[in-house]
Chains A and B, each alone.
Chain A
Amino acid sequence: MHDDGTASISVNGEHRRVRAGMTIAELALELGLEPTRVAVERNLEVVPRSTLNEVLVEDGDDFEIVTFVGGG
């Protein structure tokens, strides 16, 4: 956490600054995403959907947030 109460994270390869202490579900909502329609990887580990409401975003976290798209 930084002095200004923010955490510095990466989401899908892009750097972002977010409010410190938020959960991953809150992060998803802040990004405009429906947490039940995405899957989240945090520092190369899948975060179980059932825990998105509990796991806190920490400074330096690297997130990949994915969903299903058209493909063959």
Chain B
Amino acid sequence: MIDTWTVAGRSFTSRLIVGTGKYKSFEQNAAAVEAAGAEIVTVAVRRVNIADPKQPMLSDFIDPRKITYLPNTAGCFTAEDAIRTLRLAREAGGWTLVKLEVLGEAKTLYPDMIETLRATEILAKEGFEPMVYCADDPIAAKKLEDAGAVAIMPLGAPIGSGLGLQNRVMIRLIVENAKVPVLVDAGVGTASDAAVAMELGCDGVLMNTAIAEARDPIMMARAMKAGVESGRLAYLAGRMGKRMYADPSSPLAGLI
């Protein structure tokens, strides 16, 4: 069974998007991307190091011709900062598929949905295809979609917290209402969290810290791949109904 998902006209087999921050080395990062089977990685846009321009670069280790780079706006707290960053990203990469996040404050890194919506509108008008990090708010998610978001990416828990999905009901409501892909972005801590997101019907999961800060990041990347795949299969298979009391699995007839 070939089970692909499509965002802004591009189809992918892997439903696991991984970040490229916090790794001990580029080598470890590249090995984790490989183990995760990821076809998309998020990247940040930052000033070049003029003091040491010959330092190795991410693209020396993760080939942007093979792996889709999804530039993010991490660290942006206003629509203007995010738009400025993505205009540069578009020039650096040459593509329009981007990840928008506009943060409300540093302690929780919770999204500022008013600025996020404003930035989405402007970016869509400028020809960008923004995948948008957002609150687990079904109404805001719908507004983002109407404004031109090509994917809705609600947080499962604060960025880098590893707390797992705190609001499954709202994530499910967003999935049911959305006509574009929904991916849980942020909050996943371990493989079962990724499976939960997929069992809710999400199209994918985006994570960074859960892999990068694992004791063995490469093994955890494998675990996340398996978690995403098993959650997806369970969703497609259709889980059994829940009952309050037991229902024996062995026949009652023929008991000795």
The residues of A with any CB-CB pair to B shorter than 8 Å are 11-14, 31-33, 37-41, 44, 46-49, 64-72
Q: List A contacts of B89 (CB < 8 A).
A: 39, 68
CA distance A41 to B90 in the complex (A): 12
CA distance A14 to B48 in the complex (A): 12
Q: Taking CB as reference atom, which chain B residue is nearest A49?
A: B91
Q: Taking CB as reference atom, which chain A residue is nearest B85?
A: A66
Known: A70-B29, A71-B74. A39 touches B43 (CB 8 A): no
Interface of B is mostly: mixed
Q: Is B20 a contact partner of A71 (Cβ separation < 8 A)? A: yes
Q: Closest approach, in angstroms, between the C-beta of B16 and any C-beta of chain A? A: 14
Q: List A contacts of B58 (CB < 8 A).
A: 68-70
Q: Is A39 a contact partner of B47 (Cβ separation < 8 A)? A: no
Q: Which of B44, B53, B87, B160 touches A31 (beta carbons < 8 Å)?
A: B53
Q: Is B46 a contact partner of A67 (Cβ separation < 8 A)? A: yes
Q: Is B92 a contact partner of A72 (Cβ separation < 8 A)? A: no
Q: Is B91 a contact partner of A39 (Cβ separation < 8 A)? A: yes
Q: What number of residue pairs across chains A and B have CB atoms under 8 A from each other? A: 106
A-B contact pairs, 12 of them (CB 8 A): A11-B50, A33-B48, A38-B48, A39-B88, A39-B89, A66-B46, A68-B93, A70-B58, A71-B19, A72-B42, A72-B160, A72-B208
CA distance A46 to B92 in the complex (A): 10
Q: Is A72 a contact partner of B54 (Cβ separation < 8 A)? A: no
CA distance A65 to B48 in the complex (A): 6
Q: Which of B54, B92, B159, B160 touches A66 (beta carbons < 8 Å)?
A: B92
Q: Closest approach, in angstroms, between the C-beta of A31 and any C-beta of chain B? A: 5
Q: Is A38 a contact partner of B92 (Cβ separation < 8 A)? A: yes
B45 beta carbon closer than 8 Å to chain A:
yes
Q: Closest approach, in angstroms, between the C-beta of A44 and any C-beta of chain B? A: 8
CA distance A32 to B71 in the complex (A): 24
Q: Is B159 a contact partner of A72 (Cβ separation < 8 A)? A: yes
Q: Taking CB as reference atom, which chain B residue is nearest A31?
A: B50
B57 beta carbon closer than 8 Å to chain A:
yes
Q: List A contacts of B26 (CB < 8 A).
A: 70
Contact with A along B60-102 (1 / 0, CB 8 A): 0000100001011010000000001001111111100000000
A-contacting residues, B1-32, CB 8 Å: 19-23, 26, 29
Q: Closest approach, in angstroms, between the C-beta of A49 and any C-beta of chain B? A: 6
B209 beta carbon closer than 8 Å to chain A:
yes
CA distance A40 to B92 in the complex (A): 8
Known: A11-B50, A33-B48, A64-B88. A72 touches B29 (CB 8 A): no
Q: Closest approach, in angstroms, between the C-beta of A71 and any C-beta of chain B? A: 3
Q: Is B43 a contact partner of A69 (Cβ separation < 8 A)? A: yes
Q: List B contacts of A70 (CB < 8 A).
A: 19-23, 26, 29, 43-44, 58
